Amino acid sequence: MILLALLLAAPAPTSRVTAAELSAHIRFLSDDLTQGRKPGTPGSEIAIKYLAAELEEMGLRPAGDNGTYYQAVPLVELAAQVPGDIPFRAGDKSLVLHAGNGLEADMVFEASAHIDHARVQDAPLVFAGYGIVAPEYGWDDYKDADVRGKVVVLLNFNPPFRGENVRLWYGRWDYKYLTAAAHGAAGAILIHTTASAGYPWQVVVSSWSTPHQDLPPAPDDKFLQFQSWISEGAAARLAQLSGQDLEKLRASAQSKDFRPLALGSTMSLEMPIRMRTIQSANVIGVLPGSDQRLRDEAVFFTAHHDHLGMVPPVPPATDGIYNGALDNASGCAVILTIARAATFAQPKRSLYFAFVTAEEQGLLGSKWLAQHPPLPAARIAADINVDSPNKWGKTTDLGVIGLGKSSIDDLVKRAAAEQGRAVHGDPFPDRGAFYRSDQFPFARVGVPVLYAKGGPTFAGRPPGWGEAQLRAYEMHDYHQPSDEYRGDWDLSGMVQDAQLELTVGLRIADAPSMPRWTPGDEFEAARKSAAR
């Protein structure tokens, strides 16, 4: 009876989530000491060791390789030596576009194939619309066109398959490059607009100005010679060179009857590539479950620990360090704080806390973890992911990115109601957030996921204030050196969301059965396959 009384009197685990702890972790992980945490750099190693030390201090057991907190993630770094001028030709007309890593650049390039020299010589350009093949929507932008050895020019985003301004994976740049490679294209040029990308040109330039990293290729992987973005103004000039109008090309791509159009122009590119193998790591700790039957199942909590590092040239009036305070030192801080709070609970299923690498390089660390999990994917009940959480204060609502996809929704709605908050779907569906953070690789192997953020309705703020804060961050700080922490954020909303995520995770851990995908969901088949 005394023990029961003590247990009943003990503070709830959620009360252990504090702004002070969040602030301390954010301050260290985003400090200049960690150099922007690009995988393979000394600063990244400092951050990795900090995360492991924190897990050890909490008493969590190692869940990485060989009894350590580290799951090694092999990466191949591809440093492309991009020429400054890129020539295009159409008959006797020519156009030279500038490639570089400044805002004046017309194009940015990245190596794709794991080769030491990328080359295209007088490669024909083909406008392939959105570059989407989606049989379930009766859509095929390639149809029977032969683009082998050619360069495809593509629109960003996707047609309104699930409503106007709703981005699916089909609308993400990584899908478009993968699909172009699968069709044998030599290269792909993606047309940037702020509206279609969800961020300005400066984000593309900064994100693509350091060597690209990738996982070691599998035998059946297909690659382009190069992948590229082009600014809208430069794309319009390229269309004119080919005797085309960019707006008319866009309009033609809106129909499922669209057929690829040979532009009658060519491009040439010589791009030496320096390749090196580097080692990074996911950091993983586990709180073993208390139930003998359920402890071999698990709930995962994830956040990526990497950012962009130090990107040359140094932008004016900055130190050139892309600290990634919100993206995603703060996400790591949330998971560390949840982990410590969870040690004051006794979940029936085990809880894994994973800090994954190389998210900014294409979700590589979470992809590696999902493909090499410490227990079979069929026994992972859920993944709760945190990426760039709310730094602007308490909210009266909660946006669930992917609302309607799984039975986790019911638990989220209940926990939010207990906080006096309403739940809605992604408030910015044009961003395609479900497909651009680390819960996505888990979903692809069948694990139900939760990715949620408070807002955009903030307590005590006028309508539209929250959306204005987010858009200002995207325009000025996202993937920029200005994403720094000075201790002046209102962390009350981050606490609010972390408490909800902890509550939902513990309830999943204690539930008699694991969450389920909504029947017919795009990831339901993967769950069934994992179960088999």
* Domain of residue 143, CATH code: 3.50.30.30
- Same domain? For 202 and 318 the reply is no
Is the pLDDT reported for residue 444 higher than 60?
yes
Determine, yes or no, domain membership for 502.
Answer: yes
Residue 124: other Cβ atoms inside 10 A: 16
- Residue of 18, 361, 422 lying closest to 207 (CA atoms): 361
Name the H helices within 281-388: 330-342, 364-371
Q: To which residue do tokens 């200002």 refer? A: 472
The span from the CA of 168 to the CA of 144, in Å, is 24
- Same domain? For 383 and 514 the reply is yes
Residue 275: other Cβ atoms inside 10 A: 14
- Same domain? For 154 and 229 the reply is yes
Helix (H) / strand (E) element for 310: namely: strand 309-310
Q: What is the pLDDT of residue 100?
A: 82
Last residue of a domain, one of 252, 275, 298: 275
Q: Which long-range contacts (CB under 8 A, 24 or more apart) does 423-427 make?
A: 423/397, 423/398, 424/397, 424/398, 424/399, 424/400, 425/399, 425/400, 425/401, 426/399, 426/400, 426/401, 426/402, 427/399, 427/455, 427/456, 427/467
Determine, yes or no, domain membership for 71.
Answer: yes
Last residue of a domain, one of 240, 275, 310: 275
- What percentage of the chain carries pLDDT values higher than 90? 94
Q: What is the pLDDT of residue 531?
A: 87
- Same domain? For 331 and 221 the reply is no
Name the H helices within 363-463: 364-371, 408-418, 439-444
Determine, yes or no, domain membership for 1.
Answer: no
- Residue of 23, 34, 24 lying closest to 308 (CA atoms): 34
Helices (H) and strands (E) in the chain, counts: 15, 22
- Same domain? For 249 and 288 the reply is no
Is the pLDDT reported for residue 1 higher than 60?
no
Reduced to 3 states (helix: H, G, I; strand: E, B; else coil), residue 441 is helix
CA angle 250–253–256, rounded 5-degree value:
160
- Same domain? For 295 and 253 the reply is no
Pull the structure tokens for residue 299: 């709930």
Determine, yes or no, domain membership for 520.
Answer: yes
Determine, yes or no, domain membership for 134.
Answer: yes
Q: To which residue do tokens 């920029």 refer? A: 480
- Same domain? For 120 and 225 the reply is yes
- Same domain? For 173 and 287 the reply is no
CATH classification of the domain holding 506: 3.40.630.10
Q: Considering the entire predicted model, what is its pTM?
A: 0.95
Give CA torsion, residues 144, 148, 154, 158, to 10 deg. Answer: 50
- Same domain? For 292 and 247 the reply is no
- Same domain? For 323 and 401 the reply is yes
Q: What is the pLDDT of residue 399?
A: 98
Give CA torsion, residues 215, 216, 222, 225, to 10 deg. Answer: 80
Determine, yes or no, domain membership for 3.
Answer: no
Is the pLDDT reported for residue 6 higher than 80?
no
Residue 326 backbone phi and psi in degrees, to 5: -75, -40
- Same domain? For 288 and 223 the reply is no
Contact criterion met (CB below 8 Å) for 302 and 441: no
The span from the CA of 346 to the CA of 462, in Å, is 41
Last residue of a domain, one of 275, 293, 318: 275
pLDDT tens-digit profile of 15-67?
999 999 999 999 999 999 999 999 999 999 999 999 999 999 999 999 999 99
Determine, yes or no, domain membership for 441.
Answer: yes
Reduced to 3 states (helix: H, G, I; strand: E, B; else coil), residue 272 is strand
Residue-number span of the structural domain to which 137 is assigned: 78-275
Determine, yes or no, domain membership for 334.
Answer: yes
In single-letter form, the type of residue at position 135 comes to P
State the average pLDDT for the chain.
96
Is the pLDDT reported for residue 3 higher than 50?
no
The span from the CA of 270 to the CA of 101, in Å, is 17
Q: How many domains does the chain have?
A: 2
- Same domain? For 226 and 367 the reply is no
pLDDT tens-digit profile of 426-439?
999 999 999 999 99
Q: What is the pLDDT of residue 253?
A: 98
